[in-house]
Amino acid sequence: MAGETTVTVVGNLTSDPELRFTPAGSAVANFTVASTPRLFDRESGTWRDGDALFLRCSLWREYAENVAESLGRGTRVVVHGRLRQRSYDTKEGEKRTVVELDVEEIGPSLRYATAKVTKVSRAASGEGSSSWAPEPVAVGTPPF
């Protein structure tokens, strides 16, 4: 869709994905990816860590369940999705704005690991690929 900002981030999960269910029964998984660039210092001839980016991510339905079952804390992942800015009020009444990633694709990075893929059999829902789309969220309501 025009005007959407899509990004691909490579980083590590900071904790196990948190799987929850909406009152309607839809699964949602939330997790944070930490991505830290490595920079070469020519003066010292050594590598050093740059400033880390911590990006909150979410995905829905069967996809959420698959990710929660497959990936865990410390796993290096490649995640692709749409950036979304969201505003909310804290319990103290302060207005906050955050940038989050609505995940379209995620998988383990195979740079330092191997993986065996197991295809999940799903019952036909009649919804086609739309069953993977994020559930609409009311404005000001966090997805977790």
Q: For residue range 32-89, what is the model confidence (pLDDT) as tens digits?
A: 999 999 999 999 999 999 999 999 999 999 999 999 999 999 999 999 999 999 999 9
Residue 121 has a pLDDT of 78
Tell me how far CA of residue 104 lies from CA of 14, 44, 78, 90, in angstroms.
Answer: 19, 40, 11, 28
Phi-psi region of 3 (alpha: psi -120 to 50; beta: other; left: phi over 0): left
pTM of the predicted structure, to 2 decimals: 0.76
Could you state, in order of their start, the residue ranges of all structural domains in the chain? Answer: 6-132
| Strand stretches in 23-110, DSSP E | 27-35, 38-41, 46-49, 53-60, 76-89, 95-108
Q: Which class would CATH give 6-132? A: mainly beta
10 vs 77: CA distance, rounded Å = 6
With tokens 């920079």, the residue in question is: 39
With tokens 């660039």, the residue in question is: 37
